[in-house]
Structure 1
Amino acid sequence: MATALLTGACSKSEPPAPAPVPPPTVEVAEIVQKDVPIQREWIGSLDGMINAQILAQVSGYLVKQHYQEGQFVKKGQLLYEIDPKVFQAQLDSALANLARQEAVLKTSHLDMLRVERLLPEKAVSVRDRDNAVGHEAAAQADVLAARAAVENARLQLGFCKITAPIDGVAGMSKAQLGNLIGPGSAAELTTISQLDPIKAYIQLSEQEYLQFSRNKPDIGKYQDNLNLELILADGSTFPHPGKFFFADRQVNIKTGTIQVAILFPNPGNLLRPGQYAKVRAVVKYKPGALLVPQRAVGEMQGRWLVAVVKPDNTVELRPVVPAETIGTQWVIDKGLQAGERVIVEGIQKVRPGTTVIPQPYADVSATGER
């Protein structure tokens, strides 16, 4: 009995051993191998196919604005009017001067005819005849000058009506009614842009340009092999594909890039000059690429690492060499094999050698929820 009591006392003083901690649960994705398109993206901006700056060609006070800002205008449509009174007076004066010079020419011609009739009778000298011929020639020149002055005055009067040189969308007016405007004005009156098609300007590196154009002197001929997409500021993809328009004549020596213009159809004029533009294109296809969710790849001290779950469900931290991104996945060039499993969620719970309970990873981008 004493022994039993002693045994009972000892058992009461020792707590029970703690239950073992279960392995952490992690979400894993299996490495997928397949042929994938490799895309490139370039950031740029949009610009009108043609941007016509509207300037005043004569000086005067702006008296009328005939167009509505932001609306489509047709070539030849009246946009502005400058007060024409001064220019109408100049035209009237030029017409009067022309009439006077024509009268002088008529008189000079009659004088020359009289001298010609009197010369055989020795009533006038040869010098008189020469003077009469010279006066008529001078009068003819004065008439030509007067006619040119009339034409110039008509042009100046015509410049009082400012019309659209192209079809397009007219921008905000930078001049107000009553402003004194003219060729010396600091800014244009407005700008008209042709928006369909519209240009996207991007910068290609020398390497990219060579990749596109090697053995293809005209880069535009390469466009059939590219699916040029425009990504808008809200992340949506513009529904109309683009095509190469031209490459600039030279590489920028400061940036090592060359400017390229891409044309996009723009029905409805949704796109406007100055908008943000991200252009995306498939530049090649990579056979047998290994794909890993981007969330599974981390960077530590300049190295890219993934947590691999081995067949015995223990964790191995392994360096990898990522290449391009395809959507939400990395293309891995080195460090993994098809069929291996990597931890996507729960990596903070483990360390090398930890035993885990793997669960399939549910891709948020595919389901929209977790």
Structure 2
Amino acid sequence: MPFIAGRSRPARSLITAASLALLALSGCGARDDAAKSGRRGQQGTPEVGFIVVQPTPVPLITELAGRTNAFATSEVRPQVSGIIRRRFFTEGSYVRKGQPLYQIDPSLYRAAANQASANLASAQANAEAARVKAGRYKPLADQQAVAAQDYTDAAAAARAAGAAVDQNRAALDTARINLKFTTVPAPISGKVGRSLFTEGALVTTNQTDPLAVISSLDPIYVDIQQSSSDLLRLRRALANGGATPASAEVRLKLEDGSDYGFAGTVEFSEAMVDTATGTVTLRARFPNPQQLLLPGMFVRASFAQATDPNAFLIPQPAVTRDAKGNAQVYVVGADNKAVVRPVTATRTVGANWVVTAGLKPGDKVITEGVGKVKAGEPVKPVAAGSPQNLKPRGKDGKQGGTSNGKAG
């Protein structure tokens, strides 16, 4: 340009010096950017918390549906026919074994007992006369004063009269028993339901409907249904040593979702499979002092049928899922690099997954900072629950130490 070309040598020297200074400043800034970038690369290794896993005995908790059933149920039925004269109980109340519940008209049965008593007295009188007669004939027969056949007939009549006494005594006992049955007692202790027959109703010994039903509710049974396939799987695990039997303490969850306050025990398991449902019935026994459980209620029962001695308890945040939905965890591998480990985790206990396959004793499973971990990349492992390692703030207010870069 004519203007620049016309500049003097000192002016051109000043322009050259300014250009060199700008280049120097640019180079210094580049070194600073490189230093910052290097620091970011060192701070980019994620810090993660890990736990060292060891096998521990874990109960195999089973949760199944069940129905409550009375500990004992008795239908109150008449053992004689007649008209009900009185009812002695209050419907829905607690009755004790042997307590009178109904009174059936006893008139006919009292008369039958009196008649049987009179028949017995008559038979006893006849038996006494026959016994005396036979006793008188015996010495006469020995002296041949009477025919031997006469003594034989008298002795047989005495024995027949004695048998008639026994027969009439049995008839009197029967009449008295029937008279006793006119008072209908409670066969068991428990809570009695509504009366199905009122005063003045005719009842018979062979009627279809009971007079009332008594249920014993403390304790109470819970019948639990378990599929035969699950039971077979459990028995194989016990046989192969993969599990050990556990004490069968049962807990209940009621229909409203609340927990029942008392624990029960498994009494027995049925020895056959229901062909209609493919299930086996297990019966548990529960205390029911407040009679909160009533027969026919639907409940959920949870109990430990066995214990897995070689399971691992892993916090739930540590277990992730791959694209196929399979469970996996990250473990700290060689050179502090994250390694993906597929595991088998099909159930939980509290806040932990129960891992039954895929881990070894002593593995360092990453439980904190899982979202920052990528397979095969380095991590900075610290014990789970440790506080974050933060460097003190520098004079400029920024966290971390001073830069090692030199100004240009």
TM-score with structure 2 length normalisation? Answer: 0.61
Q: Which residue of 1 aligns with 2:114?
A: 92
Contact 2:314–2:353 (Cα < 8 Å) also in 1? no
1:50 matches 2:72: yes
Q: Which residue of 2 aligns with 1:278?
A: 300
Q: What amino acid is aligned across from residue 316 of structure 2 in structure 1?
A: L
Q: Which residue of 1 aligns with 2:189?
A: 167
Q: Structure 2 matches for 1:186-197, cutoff 5 A?
A: 186-197=208-219
Contact 2:313–2:354 (Cα < 8 Å) also in 1? no
Cα distance, 1:99 vs structure 2: 0.8
Residues 245/256 of structure 1: CA separation in 2 closer, same or farther (3 Å cut): same
Q: Structure 2 matches for 1:102-251, cutoff 5 A?
A: 102-210=124-232, 222=245, 224=247, 226-251=248-273
Cα distance, 1:290 vs structure 2: 6.5
1:291 matches 2:291: no
Matches of 2:63 and 2:202 in 1, distance apart?
A: 47
Cα distance, 1:327 vs structure 2: 8.0
Matches of 1:182 and 1:279 in 2, distance apart?
A: 43
| Regions of 4+ moved over 3 Å | 32-39, 120-123, 210-216, 282-286, 288-292, 303-306, 320-334, 337-341
Q: What amino acid is aligned across from residue 79 of structure 1 in structure 2?
A: L
Q: What amino acid is aligned across from residue 204 of structure 1 in structure 2?
A: Q
Cα distance, 1:184 vs structure 2: 0.8
Matches of 1:212 and 1:190 in 2, distance apart?
A: 43
Query: Deviation string for 1:188-243 (max 9, x for gaps)?
Result: 22222221211000111224334555659xxxx9562x442111111100011111
Matches of 2:101 and 2:130 in 1, distance apart?
A: 47
Q: What amino acid is aligned across from residue 82 of structure 2 in structure 1?
A: G
SS in 2 for 1:228: strand
Contact 2:252–2:260 (Cα < 8 Å) also in 1? yes
SS in 2 for 1:118: helix
Q: What amino acid is aligned across from residue 110 of structure 2 in structure 1?
A: Q
Matches of 1:211 and 1:265 in 2, distance apart?
A: 31
SS in 1 for 2:299: strand
Q: What amino acid is aligned across from residue 134 of structure 1 in structure 2?
A: A
Matches of 1:305 and 1:264 in 2, distance apart?
A: 40
Cα distance, 1:114 vs structure 2: 2.6
Q: Which residue of 2 aligns with 1:81?
A: 103
Contact 1:213–1:222 (Cα < 8 Å) also in 2? no
Residues 69/330 of structure 1: CA separation in 2 closer, same or farther (3 Å cut): farther
Cα distance, 1:305 vs structure 2: 10
Q: What amino acid is aligned across from residue 291 of structure 1 in structure 2?
A: Q
Cα distance, 1:133 vs structure 2: 0.7
Contact 1:244–1:262 (Cα < 8 Å) also in 2? yes
SS in 1 for 2:75: strand
SS in 1 for 2:156: helix
Matches of 2:197 and 2:97 in 1, distance apart?
A: 21
Cα distance, 1:118 vs structure 2: 2.9
Return 5+ residue gaps in structure 1 as ranges.
1-31, 298-302, 307-319, 342-370
How many residues in Structure 1 have an aligned counterpart in Structure 2? 290
Contact 1:304–1:321 (Cα < 8 Å) also in 2? no
Q: What amino acid is aligned across from residue 267 of structure 1 in structure 2?
A: P
Deviates more, 1:119-128 or 1:325-334: 325-334
Q: Structure 2 matches for 1:63-74, cutoff 5 A?
A: 63-74=85-96
Q: Which residue of 2 aligns with 1:365?
A: none
Q: Which residue of 2 aligns with 1:252?
A: 274
Matches of 2:141 and 2:326 in 1, distance apart?
A: 115
Q: Which residue of 1 aligns with 2:14?
A: none
SS in 1 for 2:316: strand
Cα distance, 1:43 vs structure 2: 1.3
SS in 2 for 1:105: helix
Contact 2:316–2:351 (Cα < 8 Å) also in 1? no
Q: Which residue of 2 aligns with 1:8?
A: none
Cα distance, 1:275 vs structure 2: 1.4
Cα distance, 1:72 vs structure 2: 1.6
Contact 1:304–1:322 (Cα < 8 Å) also in 2? no
Cα distance, 1:267 vs structure 2: 1.2
Q: Cα RMSD (Å) of the superposition?
A: 3.8
Q: Structure 2 matches for 1:220-369, cutoff 5 A?
A: 222=245, 224=247, 226-282=248-304, 287-289=312-314, 291=316, 323-324=346-347, 339-340=369-370
Return 5+ residue gaps in structure 2 as ranges.
1-49, 328-342, 358-365, 372-408
Q: Which residue of 1 aligns with 2:19?
A: none
Cα distance, 1:92 vs structure 2: 0.7
Matches of 1:46 and 1:163 in 2, distance apart?
A: 27
Query: Deviation string for 1:177-196 (max 9, x for gaps)?
Result: 22222221112222222212
Contact 2:64–2:224 (Cα < 8 Å) also in 1? yes
